[in-house]
Amino acid sequence: MQEQYPFDVDAIRADFPILDRKVGGDVTTPGEGPNDTQDLVYLDNAATSQTPDQVVDTIADYYRSYNSNVHRGIHQVSQEASVAYEEAHDCVAEFIGAEGREEIVFTKNTTEAENLVAYAWGLNELGPEDSVVLTEMEHHSSLVTWQQIGKRTGADVRYIEVQEDGTLDMDHAAEVIDETTEMVSVVHVSNALGTINPVRELADMAHEEDAYVFVDGAQSVPTRPVDVDDLGADFLAFSGHKMCGPTGIGALYGREEILDAMEPYLYGGEMIRRVTYEDSTWEDLPWKFEAGTPSIAQGVAFAEAIDYLDDIGMENVRAHEDLLAEYAYEQLSDLGGIEIYGPSGDERGGLVAFNVEGVHAHDLSSILNDYGIAIRAGDHCTQPLHDKLGAAASARASFYIYNTVEEVDALVDAVAEAKELFA
Ligand code: PLP
């Protein structure tokens, strides 16, 4: 089977010891379930990916060798930490085609990056005469955030409609993006539908109206080559924990001139240049937006995760995702009695959300758990979209670099068993 993959999946799997563990469906002390006999089949990567040894070692090495606060010390260890932390910004910048570290703000995750722009830019720039355009498939991290900014500023929040086939209605986009629009915020790859949105086309429409474009890259940056210039993105957000990195670290890309003009989001240490009792001035980019002691180990490990993905090659990562998603789509469709959400198998990102007729997604997930198969069941932080789909919840299998065709087979077999059980 190995030859069908764009890279050596067995070698990759060897970097992720967690993939060798057994599970048994019991929730106990981690790793100590009494019935831990099933191989773990981890298909919950859209929520959080696993972390290779190289990244875990980077974190351990940081704490063992050069743990210190950044930007504050003249001493050697602090300088070593500062250099590693700053260079991590360069690494992220290069990965997405940004000009340099000035355009990369480290955040806790995608959600914080969305809030940063909404608060620092939105609250100051928007008013009742303006509009913000989202899509009906936005993650709550964007939808709830802009909704609240809309309430506070009076700006109209509009949604580009999702069509039956899970793609955006681009005629509707052309209607709702107009001269009042100041921001178009769009998810690149939907975490619920798997839809790959035409971001460039939307960006061109937005720029025509002098609006900015915020791209939610939480599902796209980990799984395919992403270049901010190709996308026409003014902002791009993504999370380290979905791309082999640790939790607690993510990035906001912003075009330098826009970030430069924005007020800080959080105030305090690290982000100031000069403070008097009366007033303060701000540090250069990106530090102006990184108040307080940052997540240093996580930042350095984020860069290691990016190096890891770079070594595989993002085109190869995409090809692997395509292969597994297409195969899963086909096999699940063939079972019959299954509703799969979003576009067809060859036009989607590496995830498949579905419902089995007569089986609640939570029950399905629970049965799969007995087989050692980890999927997600719920609304995937897209409640309004699920309302529109007429589904309270869906089951979602999502794939990454270490997943195999055999694991998709295990998923499909277990779904077939569940179907039988509830028939
Ligand atoms: N946007 C999308 C499309 C996502 O899938 C997610 C996470 O599932 C997020 C945003 C939020 O990411 P985080 O929880 O890391 O902030």
> What is the rounded CA–CA span in Å between residue 259 and residue 93?
15
pLDDT digits (tens, 9 = 90+) for 62-102: 999 999 999 877 999 999 999 999 999 999 999 999 999 99
- Degrees (nearest 5) of the Cα angle 267, 131, 381? 70
Where does 163-313 have alpha helices with state H?
Answer: 170-176, 199-208, 228-231, 256-261, 296-312
Say whether pLDDT at 279 is over 80: yes
Calculate helix-pair angle for 296-312, 53-61, nearest 10 degrees.
150
pLDDT, average across residues 401-405: 98
- Mutation test residue for ligand 1: of 49, 139, 302, 375, the one with most atoms within 8 Å of CB: 139
Asked if 86 contacts 227 with a C-beta cutoff of 8 angstroms, the reply is no
pLDDT of residue 84: 98
On the question of pLDDT at 28 being above 80, the answer is no
pLDDT reading at 25 higher than 90: no
Whole-number Å distance, alpha carbon 275 to ligand 1 midpoint, is 36
Q: Is the pLDDT of residue 9 over 70?
A: yes
Which atom, in ligand 1's list, is nearest to the CA of 239?
A: 15
Alpha helices in 118-233 (DSSP H): 123-125, 140-153, 170-176, 199-208, 228-231
pLDDT attached to residue 99 = 98
pLDDT, tens digit, for every residue of 373-396?
999 999 999 999 999 999 999 999
What pLDDT sits at residue 37?
Answer: 84
Task: Flag whether pLDDT at 27 surpasses 80.
Answer: no
Ligand 1 lined by 239 (C-beta under 6 Å): yes
| pLDDT tens digits, 324-343 | 999 999 999 999 999 999 99
Report residue 368's pLDDT band, with 50, 70 and 90 as the boundaries.
very high
Cβ burial, residue 357 (10 Å; 0-12/13-18/19+): exposed
Per-residue pLDDT of 188-201, as tens digits, reads: 999 999 999 999 99
C-alpha 239 to ligand 1 mean position (Å): 7
CA distance 232 to 149: 24
Q: Mention every residue, 6+ apart, whose C-beta is less than 8 A from residue 122.
A: 132, 146, 149, 153, 155, 183
* CA–CA distances in Å: residue 4 to residues 316, 332, 350, 398: 12, 20, 17, 19
Say which residue the tokens 């039956």 belong to.
164
**In this predicted structure, what is the pLDDT of residue 33?**
65
Q: For residue 1, is pLDDT > 60? A: no
Return the ligand 1 atom nearest residue 187 CA: 3
The angle formed by the CA atoms of residues 135, 224 and 307, to the nearest 5 degrees, is 130
- Candidate from 239, 302, 386 with most ligand 1 atoms within 8 A of CB, to mutate: 239
When pLDDT is averaged across residues 295-313 and rounded to a whole number, the result is: 98
Per-residue pLDDT band for 177 (boundaries 50, 70, 90) equals: very high
DSSP 90-109: HHHHHHTT-SSGGGEEEESS
Question: Does residue 211 surpass a pLDDT of 60?
Answer: yes
Q: What percent of the chain has pLDDT over 70?
A: 97
The single residue of 104, 285, 381, 412 carrying the catalytic annotation is 381
C-alpha distance across the termini of the chain, in Å: 33
| CB within 8 Å of 32: residues ≥ 6 apart | none
The CA distance from 385 to 187, in Å, is: 13
Q: What are the chain's domains?
A: 2-48+313-422 (3.90.1150.10), 54-311 (3.40.640.10)
pLDDT value of residue 36 = 81
Helices (H) and strands (E) counted in the chain, each on its own, are 15, 17
The pairing of strands 272-275 and 280-282 is antiparallel
CA of 216, closest atom in ligand 1: 1
The answer, yes or no, to whether any atom of ligand 1 lies below 6 A from the CB of 109, is yes
Return the pLDDT at 139.
98
**High-pLDDT (> 90) share of the chain, %:** 93
Mean pLDDT of 252-267: 97
User: What is d(CA 73, CA 389) in angstroms, rounded to the nearest whole number?
Assistant: 54
* 381 has catalytic annotation: yes
Determine the atom of ligand 1 nearest the C-alpha atom of 47. Answer: 8
Q: Is the link from the previous residue into 34 a cis peptide, with omega within 30 of 0?
A: no
The answer to whether the beta carbons of residues 164 and 189 sit under 8 Å apart is: no
pLDDT tens digits for range 103-156: 999 999 999 999 999 999 999 999 999 999 999 999 999 999 999 999 999 999
Please indicate whether residue 143, judged by its CB atom, sits closer than 6 Å to ligand 1: no
Q: Mean pLDDT over all residues of the chain?
A: 96
